[in-house]
Amino acid sequence: MTLRIGCIADDFTGGTDVAAAFRRAGLRTALVFGAPDSTTELPADCDVAVVALKSRSAPADEAVADSLTAQRWLHAKGAAQIYLKYCSTFDSTPRGNIGPVTDALLQAAGTAVTLHCPASPPNGRTVYQGHLFVHDQLLSDSPLRHHPLTPMTDSALVRLLSAQTPHRVALIDWPTVRRGVDAVREALSAHRQAGVRHVIADALTDDDLAVLGAAALELPVVAGAAGLAEGLGRAYPTAGPDPADALPRQGRAAVLAGSCSARTLEQIAQFYAAGLPSLHLDVLAAATGRDVIGEAMTWYDAQDPKLPVLVYASASPDELAAVQAQLGVSEAAAQVEELLGTLASRLVERGVRRLLVAGGETSGAVTTALGIRAVLVADEADPGVPWTYAGAATGGLALMLKSGNFGAPDLFTRALSATAEEAK
């Protein structure tokens, strides 16, 4: 079976989000971490391969180079269509890289037009008249206007993308999308003939995204968030049994959290309130050379093996500010990522078989420490938060990588309760 779609995601948890969307559409999906090279193996029998890069905030030339490497590898594996996954809040300033990356992918694929739509209705992201909404607010009125790296002060997608590309950008509006697949195809063709390279489409619902996906089936390059990926995936015929069904359902379970996002803090509080064993890592003590890892492992060995455990560095905004003031922002992050990466390796060595990781950067640190290059994507615990299967190299590890703000407050206990229940 050859690969059908090759996807390039601009960060790791964005990669798990889009991989879950393709799987929801019925396609067997693998996720590859980091720019692939000749030694990167693709798990057998998948329809979609998602390459998760760390390019969202990278300078355009770096993001273009990594994306072209991924595109070449995906084409070599047989992918006829490339999907560029960026954030559903279009995290990208005028100097951002969505325009340059898309232009480079189009040029390498030898094609003149692409369809974009960042809508992701389950997460409240919709596009109307080319304006991106976050629930009931324009993007530029939402909390994203204060994003530390990519403050979004404009919601007009045609204007945002036009600032990043020398090529023409135009809109297919919602009334056209509502008229269906043929109407969208005709509009795409008219835009292409008029010299437009980037066509942005409105979408309010998953049905709109299914129309767009069907209309985009023949385009060599398509771009957007997880919503359009699912719409596109639904336009493909589904294949046979999913090898990810071999996911281990039992074994010791642990959560490692390095995300300080509000939702992760709620999930930590819920786990603690459920009476499950939790340990807070003392980042400042680790920085002074105390053996925080050794202490954590002694604590882990003393826990009831039937129960999932949580080890977290995550801190409230005040605690975080205090640690960062003392260590510096990047030194503090490096310290935490080193701690959580090392702990992940120790826990897996000690027999953990189900590992839930909270935080995008944290997920990168953990997969790197575990030497995991590729996983198969299995069922979702919450929208955009799938279990994945790391296969034989790690002794058959079930891994869940969660973006900081994703998942319901009870995600940790719910996703891992099966283990505790079955073991009782």
Ligand X SMILES: O=C(O)[C@@H](O)C(=O)COP(=O)(O)O
Which residues lie near ligand ADP (CB under 6 A)? 258-261, 264, 283, 313-315, 320, 323-324, 332-333, 336-337, 359-362, 403-404
Nearest-approach distance from CB 180 to ligand ADP, in angstroms = 38
Query: Smallest Cα–Cα separation from 229: which of 391, 422, 377?
Result: 377
Among 14, 36, 220, 308, contact with ligand X (rule: CB under 6 A) = 14
Q: Is 11 in the site for ligand X (CB under 6 A)?
A: yes
Only segment of 13-21, 68-76, 265-273, 320-328 that touches ligand X (CB under 6 A): 13-21
Q: Does residue 404 interact with ligand X by CB under 6 A?
A: yes
- 43 vs 407 by CB, closer to ligand X: 407
Contact 314/260 with Cβ under 8 angstroms?
Answer: yes
Contact of residue 67 among ligand X, ligand ADP, none (CB under 5-8 Å per partner type): none
The region of 142-150, 177-185, 203-211, 401-409 touching ligand X under the rule CB under 6 A is: 401-409
CB within 8 A of 72, min separation 6: which ones? 108
Cβ closest to ligand X, residue 88 vs residue 394: 88
By the rule CB under 6 A, 255 interacts with ligand X: no
CA distance 355 to 220: 36
Tell me which residues in 222-251 interact with ligand X (CB under 6 A): 225-226
List of residues 6+ apart from 64 with CB closer than 8 A: 97, 100, 101, 104
103 interacts with, out of ligand ADP, ligand X, none, CB within 5 to 8 A per kind: none
Contact letters (x/-) for ligand X, 357-396, by CB under 6 A? Answer: ---x------------------------------------
Residues in contact with ligand X by the rule CB under 6 A: 11, 13-14, 17, 87-88, 120, 123, 225-226, 360, 403-405
